[in-house]
Chains A and B, each alone.
Chain A
Amino acid sequence: MKELLRRLTEAYGPSGHEDEVRDLVRQEVKGLADALTVSPMGSLHAVVNPQGKTKVMVAAHMDEIGLVVSHIDPAGFARFQMIGGLNPQTLVGHRARFANGIRAVIGIEDQEDWTKRATLADLYLDFGVSRAADCPVRVGDIGSFDRPFVGIGPRLIAKAMDDRAGVAVAIETMRRLRRTPHQVQFAFTVQEEVGLRGARTSAFGLNPDIGIALDVTRTGDTPKGPKMAVELGKGPAIKVKDSNLLSDPRLVDLMVRRAEAARVPYQLEVLQAGTTDASVIQLTRAGVPSGCISIPCRYVHTPSEMVDLADVEGAVKLLSAILSRPMDLGRPA
């Protein structure tokens, strides 16, 4: 699992450019799915047990936050805009990486002033060149961040844990799931970070009866952190609510019952700012009962996102427990 996470998080995959991650996932799940297709948007659909009556869509997004070049000045420095939500404070001194392996340092104007709060307009990319003609990127090129994966005991740190941790949970669940009464539609989605776009189109195409997203969530366990009852290492979080989603209460109850029966430690999550693929799956076509299993993660949307291996393992156990038995939600509460 740790090795899988290393490979997934070190892969390059900003929104809209998920090809490398998709190839990795395809290698991992080949032989585990009955059907493997790519949607027009680029999401990878791996369907298990297509004869199953109830269709359960399990979505994890392959894309990560990144940046896009907006201007190249005569000295070869490039300005950029965000792909997804970035806090400029976390970027100064970091390194960017582009599709063809090109690297750059992120610099800040007026760098002797250490008291300044960085805004995006202050930042630039330095490709180590001195003139525009030598700049190896062009306006419109998309990049992501460059950081190696590290493990500190049970804590794993990498860029793009959001949402390669969810991708890893989906892959590992496919591996361990021996039997399911459902048609399980694993959807490795694209463009989540820029507006949940891949999940919306995948959900339309797959037309599921139930939707479950796998994603990371914030925690409240750091110094002066947000008031939030989710901690690293206390198990996967069963989402009750976020900015755009009220999880179907019947699905929340079912997840809680399965977690207890399988003796998987879990937490309940109420996220104040942010959302996941589940919020658009829920509103697809005539509506799809949806929920989300979250992996607690510190420093979300920075180049050093931290998760606890036990929470990732717990999410696999919980998802396997949910999928291996019938999921009759009954009537709406």
Chain B
Amino acid sequence: MPAPAARPTRAHLRLLQDLTEAIGVSGAEGPVRAIVRKQVEPHADTVKVDALGNLLVNRRGAGRVRLRVMVSAHMDEVGMMVVSVSSEGLLKFEAVGSIDDRQLLGKPVWVGADRLPGFIGAKPIHLMSDDETEQTVKVESMSIDIGSGSKTAAEAKVKPGDRATFATRFRRLGPSVMAKALDDRLGVATLIELVQNPPDGIELLAAFTVQEEVGLRGARAAAFSLDPQAALALDCTPANDLPSWDGEENIAYNTRLGNGPAIYAADGRSLAHPGLLEHFIHTAESQGLAFQIRQPGGGATDAGVIHVARSGIPSLSLSTPARYPHSAAGIASLSDWRDTARLAHAALSTLTERTLRRS
């Protein structure tokens, strides 16, 4: 099959828009799953949804199948969950997944399956004391205002357990895109493309997973049932590449925007399989594709649970960098995303059992 396009097409951008504007907070990934299903069904050999909600797709590439390879991308995003409705009709909520409280205040949101517009209100600055302007407001003291006016009116539209997310429209910004949920709809878009245009010589076991942001839960079950010979997790990782506030050299950038897809050597939950790591680096170098090694440290992807499934599965993580993840909007470079798809496709097309062997 031909290599994925180096430049984003209109169809690419439309898909990224649909995926990032869909609401898929952990445990309620239905709207994202519906988009993915529509995209992959015409190309897939089999499609099924497992008990947790993972969408599992089989797609055989051209030629003799050398390996069964699981490639995962998580459909869920961080967001909010309504926990109660106050007597004034305001929605008390908690965060789903890790969100810095400071990212929540003063943000418009969409609530529930009907995408009700709402706003996480804050005290007007006109009325604040000097002390108050210095304080951090905790999520426990915040509410979503849907303008309903009363408890009864609010309860007619919203119930505890409903998810909410940042109301952010997708935008293209020259060579970049700005959107919510780039973590991990960029990975989902890459994986859709791999199903539509599968790498030669492998049986692609595409796992569009759930509940990654709350503890890598979907991927654990998917890896057990797919029982692959190797795995690749496609995710989105922070680019904290802006200058330090104090002018010191920034030595903890994690990744840098525009420097290509990030290959993982080590994160908080997995060490890259040495053979896969070398294979991806070698592929990028020989194909002239940009890449960077993500700074080793904490954090995790689906690979954290996939690689310890059953008797162990050689695994690697590959991320597209984005600035400001787990907030109302992130910014990612389109060339980094295209190079992620190109690197994944090229490396999987040439993957053999030899790469996975231990001495």
Chain A contact residues, CB within 8 Å of chain B: 15-17, 19, 22-23, 38-43, 68-71, 73, 79, 81, 83, 138-142, 191, 194-195, 197-198, 200-202, 204-205
Contacts and interface: CB of A to CB of B under 8 A. Distances in A.
B297 interface: yes
B271 A194 contact: yes
A140 B296 contact: yes
A19 B274 CA distance: 11
A68 B274 contact: no
Given A41-B307, A41-B312, A83-B271, 9 more contacts: A16-B274, A22-B358, A68-B296, A81-B266, A140-B265, A140-B272, A140-B296, A197-B270, A197-B308
A161 to B, nearest CB: 22
B296 A70 contact: yes
A204 B310 CA distance: 6
B296 A191 contact: no
B311 A205 contact: yes
A40 B312 contact: yes
A232 B94 CA distance: 51
A191 B271 contact: yes
B347 interface: no
A262 to B, nearest CB: 34
B311 A70 contact: no
Interface string B284-321: 00000000010111000000000111111110000000
B251 interface: yes
B92 to A, nearest CB: 36
Nearest to B357: A38
Interface string B242-276: 00000001011000000000010110011110100
B67 interface: no
Contact of B313 (A40, A81, A194): A40
Interface of B: 249, 251-252, 263, 265-266, 269-272, 274, 277, 293, 295-297, 307-314, 356, 358-359
30 contacts: A16-B266, A16-B271, A19-B358, A22-B358, A22-B359, A38-B359, A39-B312, A40-B311, A41-B308, A41-B312, A68-B296, A71-B295, A73-B249, A73-B251, A79-B251, A81-B266, A81-B296, A81-B297, A138-B293, A139-B295, A140-B263, A141-B265, A142-B265, A191-B271, A197-B308, A201-B309, A201-B310, A202-B311, A204-B310, A205-B311
B310 to A, nearest CB: 5
Contacts of B277: 140
B271 A15 contact: yes
B358 A42 contact: yes
A139 B259 CA distance: 14
B245 to A, nearest CB: 16
Greatest chain A CB density within 10 A among B251, B263, B308 is at B308
Given A139-B265, A201-B312, A19 B359 contact: yes
Q: Is the interface of B mostly helix, strand, loop or mixed?
A: loop
Contacts of B312: 39-41, 43, 197-198, 201-202, 204-205
A197 B296 contact: no
Contacts of B270: 197
User: Looking at chain A's contact residues, is the secondary structure mostly helix, strand, loop, or mixed?
Assistant: mixed
Contacts of B359: 19, 22-23, 38
A191 B308 CA distance: 11
A244 to B, nearest CB: 15
Given A39-B311, A71-B251, A197-B308, A17 B274 contact: yes
A200 B249 contact: no
B232 to A, nearest CB: 15
B358 A70 contact: no
A276 to B, nearest CB: 16
Contact of A205 (B295, B307, B310, B314): B310
Contacts of B308: 41, 197, 200-201
A191 B359 CA distance: 16
A68 B265 contact: yes
Nearest first, the 4 closest Cβ-Cβ pairs linking A and B are A140-B265, A201-B312, A205-B311, A16-B271
B181 to A, nearest CB: 28
A303 to B, nearest CB: 21
Of the listed residues A15, A79, A81, the one surrounded by the most CB atoms of chain B closer than 10 A to its CB is A81
A92 to B, nearest CB: 18
A197 B252 CA distance: 27
A300 B274 CA distance: 27
Residue from the set A70, A83, A139 with the largest chain B CB neighbour count within 10 Å: A70
Nearest to A43: B312
A202 B312 CA distance: 8
Contacts of A70: 251-252, 295-297
Contacts of A19: 358-359
B266 A83 contact: yes
Task: From A68, A140, A194, A204, name the one whose CB has the most chain B CB atoms within 10 angstroms.
Answer: A140
Contacts of B251: 70-71, 73, 79
Given A81-B297, A140-B266, A40 B356 contact: yes
Nearest to A280: B308
A16 B276 CA distance: 13
A194 to B, nearest CB: 6
A16 B265 CA distance: 10
Given A16-B266, A17-B274, A197 B295 contact: no
Nearest to A199: B308
Nearest to A80: B296
A209 to B, nearest CB: 17
A12 to B, nearest CB: 14
Contact of A140 (B249, B293, B313): B293
A198 B313 CA distance: 11
A142 B296 CA distance: 10
A21 B295 CA distance: 27
A38 B358 contact: yes
B295 A142 contact: no
